[in-house]
Structure 1
Amino acid sequence: MAKRFLRIGVDVGGTNTDGVLLDPSLVDDENRGILAWHKEPTTKNPSHGIDNAIAKMFKEAKISPEDVSSVTIGTTHFINAVVEMDASRLAKVAILRLCGPFSKNAPPCIDWPENLKSLICGYYAMLKGGLEVDGSLISDIDEEEIREQCKIIKAKGIKSIVINGIFSPTDTEYKQEERAAEIIKAAFPEADIIMSKEVANLGFLERENAAILNAAILPFARRTIKSFEEPLHRLGLGCPLFITQNDGTVLLAKTAARLPIRTFSSGPTNSMRGAAFLVEKDLKESVMVVDIGGTTTDVGLLLASGFPRQAAANSEVCGVRMNFSYPDVRSIGLGGGSVVRKTNDSAMTIGPDSVGYQIQSKALVFGGDISTTTDYTVAADEDTVIGNPANVRGTIPADHIVEFKQLVKTMLEKVIDTMKTSPEDIPVLLVGGGAVIAPDELQGASKVLKPKWSGVANAIGAAIARVSAVIDTVESTELKTLEELFEEISLRVIEKAVQGGAARESVQIVEMESLPLQYIDNKTRIIVRAAGDFDMGRVSNEVADSTPVDDSEIKSEETDATPAKDIPKSETVVDEKPFDILSYKPTIKDREWIVSEVDLNWISTGCYILGTGGGGSPYSSMLRLRSIIRAGGIVRVINPNDLKDDDLVGCGGGVGSPTVGVEKLQGDEMLEAQTELYGFINKKATAVIALEIGGGNGLQGMTLGASSQMNIPAVDGDFMGRAYPTKWQITPVVLEENRTIFSPSVMCDGNGNVLIMTKATSDTASERVFRAALSQLGSSVACAEGPVSGADTKKWVVEHTISLSWRIGRAVAMARQFNRVDTVAESIIEEVGGDRAAKVLFKGKIVGVNRTLKMGHVYGEVTIEGIESFQGKLKIPFKNENIAAIRINPDGTETYIATVPDLICVIDAQDGEAIGTPEYRYGLQVQVIGIVASEKWTSTSRGIEIGGPKAFGINSVEYVPLGEFKKPVSVIDEFEC
């Protein structure tokens, strides 16, 4: 008989272990190739559940272990440890940054929820090290400094250590993280060391966050994966063991034991892929997949293509932001083993804690003493027979059952509602072993579906998973063309996928992207991803060492840890009242706006949207400003009309590449530039204004003003009303033809280099000098501009743009809270002055992006294919920022529907946040808004000349305004009373 290449998929949940035995050659048959399936209670040692599930499937299907080509296991164990904040499964972590003087204002775990931060983040230190984007050194590492830190960490009893170096993913020459790891290993042999470059790619904070979570679960993951391997050996399976990761593909077990973070959200991903497999013949529209396990309910949108909707760029787990791109999934603490608490005089609560794998000893229906959702479900439904129903029927009060059913319904409806981008009803597909607790009808669901084998959809998804690999690197294009580099990297990534278990002939390149880096000679970020099928003919023992792990080893480690009950639980609670956006009012005192964290979040969102694709993400700047607020600093904003004529208004901001900005976070260079400038001119500013409101620079005026060294208010306005690629494209230059505005000027790189330009013949000349120096100073610097008078500021300012950012951010927050993201563009338009001042230009999906580098600026073009009433395609050329919106007509001709200086803003259709030009990628659903520019730009021919289409090389097109500009309403004026 010919050898069969069967696949086994196993999903180890907190409550049940599900198994499926699948024959890929029979997937078109009525039973979809499913030869056997089994659901087994998860045990404290998960190997027992895996062993039992596989053994029973072998017996049912009458097959031999030699017929099995692979075993793939998906597990929620690792993410559950974080969701439940279980101290017995989470280790304290020490973080060593190789960063030199940078990133000090955004320390590790700065953006974490406090309860999780206190549980995991044990210690950090900022050390010498780090690279510039071109591969040169910020500084080399100091071996003695690292050894001293090892002594401190060891004395604190911390054994998990993360090393994170600036631009470490591209460090192939100095190998700072690797060298630091060797030093630590020699000084502290028992430590678990995680290099950030192993875990994720470019994006300093997000990569570090992922590495910290990875380190926190590393000891638990190692024990767990070893226990997964035990039953394979006992059953005589010589095939490779794979673990599913969060993008729906797999890792070899030995890799997963090192990088368990990559398995996060693999459970819901498996369920969604398995659900797609089960209904793919009938799938004609998007459906919401609700996977109810033993501990959590995971909800995601399954597109009509059969693939999950992807998170836009970054993703979050328990409030921790990471730079993994994986399916957009929301989790709540509701499952079959969730603990139900109810007393007669208090409201009922469900979860987020769960009895998990102990349900068969702890739940009431099994003779235990803890009330779970399973108990209440059995008590409520006579057709549901689990355990001994007599233990709960008649013993749980009827009014408690009614309250339970309503609470479960509310919890599910709420999480489904938050995942919808439209108020329209949508089909809901229930899967998972805990689906029995869900009602047959849900508000917001056009229908509730539960297909055959839905209870083991997660195991099916694991069985059909593919193998993938990705390379994300910065390469030089000085000696090789981009095509040659793509070819070389493609060969490398294919080899990487084959090493991961893919059949060489099946591997295909599924993603190729290049992002030229601004202001850096011959440097391009290249991302190549490959995917392929399992190599069914390659039976390998490439699995981790299988030293048996018994229950006593796990038990002893759990006993030594802080009990989980002493740790605050997850912030995900169903009865938490949402923030009341409608009643919120900002604080105004004596004509000064005192910015709160709520205000800051909204302003940050609005700034990036006003960046028109450029300006860089404000996220790290927002974190720094939030830290100032939390430390007691006061962020003051004043109306420009309240300036005195003799006030001195300072100005400053960052200049450089957004790609550098997300990796080399600011140190003290912004403030240093201001200090150097005022020391030179022997004057101090009495207020500060942002050069541009768009992107990260939109927050710099407030950050500088709120610093203890300056302590001055920020002006509610800026000199662009948007973002532009050069600093001479500002309203003062428009309105003052024969005058150099900002002189003197100072540039600081944050690493000890300061450049002062005492005079300039023009702002254009100053720009050329600073741009020439920029590439030599790391392509990301801080600038301080000579202060101007209050009288001039009032004449030049684009008024109330901080207020405008606040209003735009509030509109986005409201759209998300009230599930109107599908019309978020229309909501933003209302805030910027209505349909005479702004327009929805297009809605659709990005289907093409190309980029090139000219004179330090990234030029490119994104193509969007229309959806709904927006038919055809829209093309947006950009030079750092979006330049124009061009409709491609059915006959192939092109029509310009908007150009600079009007603002062309691209936002994510899933959450309403801005998408910058470096983030454009195939498949993103977007909405495009056009906003009429300030009259400071459009009322004179000089304004059109400096900021219009001809300034960007579009000489054949005349500027035609989208509508009529409407000056933003000042928050101070509106809320003063």
Structure 2
Amino acid sequence: MASQRLLIGVDVGDVATGIEEAIRTLLKQADVYPSNVASLMIGTTHFINAVVEHDASRLEPVAVLRLAAGDYMKNTPPFIDFPPALTKIQIDGTEIGLIKEADILEQAKIIKAKGLQRVAVVGIYSTFDEKYTQEYQIVCSRDVAGVGILARENAAILNASILRFAKRAINSFKRAMKRLDLKCPLYLTSNSGQLLSSDEATLFPIQIFASGATNSIRGASFLSSAGKNTESRYVVDIGGTTTDIGCLLPSGFPRLASSSTDIGGVRVNFAIPQIESIGLGGGSLVHVPEGADGRFRIGPDSVGQALREKAKCFGGGSLTATDVMVAAGVAKAGTSKPVVLLKTMEAVRKKMKTMIEDLIDRMKTSPEPCSLLLVGGGAFLCPPELVGVATIEIPEHSGAANAVGAAVAEIGEAAELIVDNDQQDTTLVEVKARAIAAAVARDAKEDEVRIIEEDVSGIPYIEVKSKIVVKVVGPVDYARFLNSSEIDVPESSTDEMYDEMKKWEIEDLKTFTEADIDHDTYRPNVDCNRVWHLTETDAYYISIGCYILGCAGGGTPYGSYLELRQILREGGDITIIDIEDLEDGALCGPVAAMGSPAIAIERLGGNMIGEAWEGLQKHLGIKFSGVIAAEIGGSNGFAPLHMSNAYSIPCVDADVMGRAFPAFEMSSLYIGAGDGNINHLLPVCLASGDGTTMTFSTSKDALAVDKVLLISLAAGIAARPCTKTELQNFSIPKSQSLAWRLGRAVVRARSKETIGSVHRDLITEFGGPQAAKKIFEGKIVGVGSTIYKGHSYGKLIIDKLKDYEKESESSESHDTGPQKIEIPFKNENLLVEAFYKNGEKKILTMVPDLIMVLDTLTGEACGVPEYRYGLKIMVMVAAAHPLWISKRGLEIAGPKAFGYDFDFMPCGAYTGVTSVIDEYAPKA
């Protein structure tokens, strides 16, 4: 069937009327009868605006029914990480616990009594559940987003809250179609660039939240004269206020973000395009320095929406990026040519070029020159040549790329499954067939459905399982709709899109944020008995510090921080004491959680560690009087803090690693076993969190212990308790204090806008230049990783920053330093190898010293899961505690313990940590 496409734009007061007027004008200009229209595709940001604006007239209260066995998720209730204004199945496929019908009925009665009309159902690993399905008249999280229970639950809640508004909006579109005598299907474009039917969009409006950027990328692809491409291209969209970049894959769809994202202050994890943005557009204000040594600044403030009134080329008084380009003769706009000094023009154009090049570099996945598609009304800001860019194309009609992207969208589907490794080949064929059949069922042309993504990957810590993901797309089969009947549209006026009375008020609630605290004057609560009582601010500092001490491993403490914050808000008391303040007969148990990160993001909290703790006490027949972290690095730094509240016992300001390590026996307590007998660390109790515990009493060697521990996909562990004397001699003291100080340093730097020099503050907290240093600043240009025997192995490659890539003058120059470094890792960073201009190679530092990779924009740690090309980072190293550089310590966790054949070379000298308790306890 022949098709015709035209572009039209209108200015009206509301979305539904605008769509109707645009279609009416389009049909008239194209001389097309409504009966010849095969489909109507709409791209809109209307729904996401309701969430971003916290609009009470368009959002509804939601009842959340969470399915979790035992105490899983106990300390992370629904809405735990929503902003205040919006609050008010196992991985191997087995069922964790039975769903009791009586419990569901009881909750349903409560929901009914509260008058709630929207329900979100969330289950642990429900994304892989195909057997224990729930009713589909309510929002099930498995249908909304992917793995990661908190982010998926948040997405389900947002989706449920906007269902009524979405129904009104889409019905108003349908009524507009009816008035135009259109009897074709209505589709809306999704975040991934694929089509949703009007019924699907009504059920899952959250899936079209981020369709705007996707439509621009897809539209640029369609408009490009290059046609289909075998390599990825980058789409740069320059508007009035911002410049956005996304990656156009050879499949014709945008590259999607691989992790969670933020919408209206809510962390979610559904598929949206990976977009990077900067404050550069046609309306960006140009700030000219007064002094000779000053720097030009462009944006992020902008008059983009009022360019015709404010820009100098239109007679206004503001110097904008557009004015500079008009003065330079590059662009034609306005009523006059502004007078701009040649020096200013050159400096501003050079700065804009650097900003765009830097933005492109942040999105690229390799250093090779790339191809660029340039769209948007501000495309004239981009010079014809850019460093790192091979070709630049500005397609015809580039200003309408967004609308074109909606018009060319296709039907997409996906299927995924967790399988045994020996079933990969047969199951892959089955998953492909399932995805294709699902796309055809949604009106894709059967013979034109194509696979755009096929991935078989291992799961960390789970050697016997793999995850298969297949994604397909295909064009709409319009032949099915040639004889479509009239669309079903309710006539009720209560469904009108803009009949929106405010039924629910959103209160302006206040809770802790960085900006609420004066971080220079903040004092932790240490009482006269030298007991440190944690606050939300303390927990926040410690969460940042723990991830820094994780040396890229240990897992993000974010979920653990949320749990601890909730405990504190409910009146919990979490205490920390110094080793020296322990009673002489005290016994303190090391605790941690271990297992696959894939499990951790689904089964937050629970009582795994508590059950292990109680199991070990029962096994030994004694009660422990204190608790200590098995490792301070990563999320396990929070494990003893949870125990402190649960059992009303103090957490000791120490741990037995001083960082994160990948193996159980890499404990400073093991250094005390002069004969190297692993039984010195035993017994250890493991608990699954659902009532199953196992105590491991003896072992032939350390390897046997590690193998047994890796069998558990997720478990809490409690190890042999330590005496006060043992902790004095063989623990890493003041590790909670160090985490607190590192986190405070980062937050202070952010509040003062001195993040560029945060490394100096961190060095001070580690004990000064002799104890820590920054050894490199650069950009990640390569990441290779694999899963082997449950651990993440790989290598990080970082290039030195070029002068134009530096954020500010604080990005130090190292003319005689290395041009590149490589950091191999096994869960945690192992060493730093430097490469110099003259061909020399040198190892700068190695385990057990702490090798930390920090994001230069935030000052926070980058763990292995966050490593990606283009990320600007700084590498720091801190000296290990003297226990670790002893002969026995190096045997356990030195370079030779990780398979290297060279001796340890220290980066400096450990100088100790200032205790928070010593500094802030009331003086007698």
One of 63, 69, 79 as aligned partner of 1:109: 79
Distance 1:645 1:545, change over 3 A: farther
- The residue number in structure 2 matching 1:82 is 51
**RMSD (CA atoms):** 4.9
Aligned-residue offset at 1:247: 4.4
One of 649, 657, 671 as aligned partner of 1:720: 657
Partners of 1:543 and 1:790 lie apart in 2 by 80
Distance 1:426 1:614, change over 3 A: closer
Partners of 1:83 and 1:541 lie apart in 2 by 39
One of 574, 581, 584 as aligned partner of 1:635: 574
One of 456, 466, 474 as aligned partner of 1:524: 466
Distance 1:494 1:896, change over 3 A: farther
Partners of 2:97 and 2:400 lie apart in 1 by 53
One of 917, 938, 945 as aligned partner of 2:864: 917
Aligned-residue offset at 1:152: 3.4
1:563 counterpart = 2:503: yes
One of 787, 795, 800 as aligned partner of 2:721: 787
Partners of 1:875 and 1:469 lie apart in 2 by 39
State how 1:562-601 maps to structure 2 within 5 Å: 563-564=503-504, 566-568=505-507, 579-590=517-528, 591-601=530-540
Aligned-residue offset at 1:111: 2.2
> Does structure 1 retain, via aligned residues, the 8 Å contact 2:547–2:556?
yes
- The residue number in structure 2 matching 1:25 is none
AA at the equivalent of 1:722: R
- The residue number in structure 2 matching 1:900 is 847
1:52 counterpart = 2:21: yes
One of 433, 452, 455 as aligned partner of 1:509: 452
AA at the equivalent of 2:44: T
- The residue number in structure 2 matching 1:844 is 779
- The residue number in structure 2 matching 1:37 is 9
One of 639, 645, 654 as aligned partner of 1:706: 645
Partners of 1:317 and 1:636 lie apart in 2 by 35
> Does structure 2 retain, via aligned residues, the 8 Å contact 1:846–1:926?
no
What do the CA deviations read for 1:316-371 (whole angstroms, capped 9, x no partner)? 22332212353468999xxxxxxxxxxxxxxxxxxxxxxxxxxxxxxxxxxxxxxx
> Does structure 1 retain, via aligned residues, the 8 Å contact 2:456–2:466?
no
> Does structure 2 retain, via aligned residues, the 8 Å contact 1:616–1:695?
yes
Aligned-residue offset at 1:490: 5.6
Partners of 1:541 and 1:803 lie apart in 2 by 71
Q: Secondary structure at the residue paired with 1:478?
A: helix
Aligned-residue offset at 1:249: 4.8
- The residue number in structure 2 matching 1:208 is 153
State how 1:524-923 maps to structure 2 within 5 Å: 524-529=466-471, 534=475, 540=481, 546-550=487-491, 552-554=493-495, 563-564=503-504, 566-568=505-507, 579-590=517-528, 591-707=530-646, 710-738=647-675, 740-758=679-697, 766-772=705-711, 774=712, 779-814=713-748, 816-817=750-751, 828-829=762-763, 831-833=765-767, 837-841=772-776, 843-845=778-780, 847-854=782-789, 857-864=790-797, 866=799, 868-869=801-802, 875-886=822-833, 896-908=843-855, 911-918=858-865, 920=867, 923=869
What do the CA deviations read for 1:469-519 (whole angstroms, capped 9, x no partner)? 5445422213336xx76676566556666766778768563574624231x
> Does structure 2 retain, via aligned residues, the 8 Å contact 1:515–1:525?
yes
Partners of 1:239 and 1:894 lie apart in 2 by 66
Distance 1:653 1:863, change over 3 A: closer
> Does structure 2 retain, via aligned residues, the 8 Å contact 1:719–1:797?
yes
1:322 counterpart = 2:271: no
State how 1:155-174 maps to structure 2 within 5 Å: 155-172=113-130
- The residue number in structure 2 matching 1:3 is 2
- List runs of 5+ in structure 1 lacking aligned partners: 7-20, 22-34, 119-130, 183-191, 293-298, 333-372, 386-419, 436-450
Identical pairs, percent = 35
> Does structure 2 retain, via aligned residues, the 8 Å contact 1:643–1:794?
no
> Does structure 1 retain, via aligned residues, the 8 Å contact 2:413–2:435?
yes
- The residue number in structure 2 matching 1:969 is 914
What do the CA deviations read for 1:667-722 (whole angstroms, capped 9, x no partner)? 22322332333344443333321000112110111111122xx2222222211111
One of 919, 941, 964 as aligned partner of 2:887: 941
- List runs of 5+ in structure 2 lacking aligned partners: 227-232, 280-303, 317-351, 361-373, 379-394, 806-817
- The residue number in structure 1 matching 2:107 is 149
Partners of 1:571 and 1:541 lie apart in 2 by 55
- What TM-score do the two structures reach when normalised by structure 1? 0.71
Partners of 1:576 and 1:100 lie apart in 2 by 35
1:138 counterpart = 2:96: yes
> Does structure 1 retain, via aligned residues, the 8 Å contact 2:84–2:510?
no
One of 893, 896, 901 as aligned partner of 1:950: 896
- The residue number in structure 1 matching 2:326 is none
Partners of 1:587 and 1:541 lie apart in 2 by 72
Distance 1:71 1:221, change over 3 A: same
Aligned-residue offset at 1:757: 3.8
What do the CA deviations read for 1:778-823 (whole angstroms, capped 9, x no partner)? x211122232111211212222222222233234434554556677
Partners of 1:821 and 1:530 lie apart in 2 by 43
Q: Secondary structure at the residue paired with 2:41?
A: strand
- The residue number in structure 1 matching 2:905 is 960
Q: Secondary structure at the residue paired with 2:424?
A: coil
Aligned-residue offset at 1:228: 2.1
- The residue number in structure 2 matching 1:11 is none
Distance 1:200 1:718, change over 3 A: same
- The residue number in structure 2 matching 1:227 is 172
Partners of 2:458 and 2:630 lie apart in 1 by 26
Distance 1:634 1:454, change over 3 A: farther
Moved more, 494-503 or 144-153: 494-503
Aligned-residue offset at 1:235: 3.6
Instruction: Give the aligned length.
Output: 806
> Does structure 2 retain, via aligned residues, the 8 Å contact 1:287–1:427?
no
Partners of 1:911 and 1:550 lie apart in 2 by 52
Aligned-residue offset at 1:260: 0.9
AA at the equivalent of 2:915: S
Partners of 2:670 and 2:830 lie apart in 1 by 20
What do the CA deviations read for 1:823-849 (whole angstroms, capped 9, x no partner)? 766764554356652334463346444
Aligned-residue offset at 1:51: 1.0
Partners of 2:510 and 2:235 lie apart in 1 by 30
Q: Secondary structure at the residue paired with 2:187?
A: strand
> Does structure 1 retain, via aligned residues, the 8 Å contact 2:145–2:269?
yes
Aligned-residue offset at 1:935: 3.0
Q: Secondary structure at the residue paired with 2:721?
A: strand
Partners of 1:491 and 1:939 lie apart in 2 by 56
AA at the equivalent of 1:603: I
1:475 counterpart = 2:413: no
AA at the equivalent of 2:557: P
- The residue number in structure 2 matching 1:24 is none
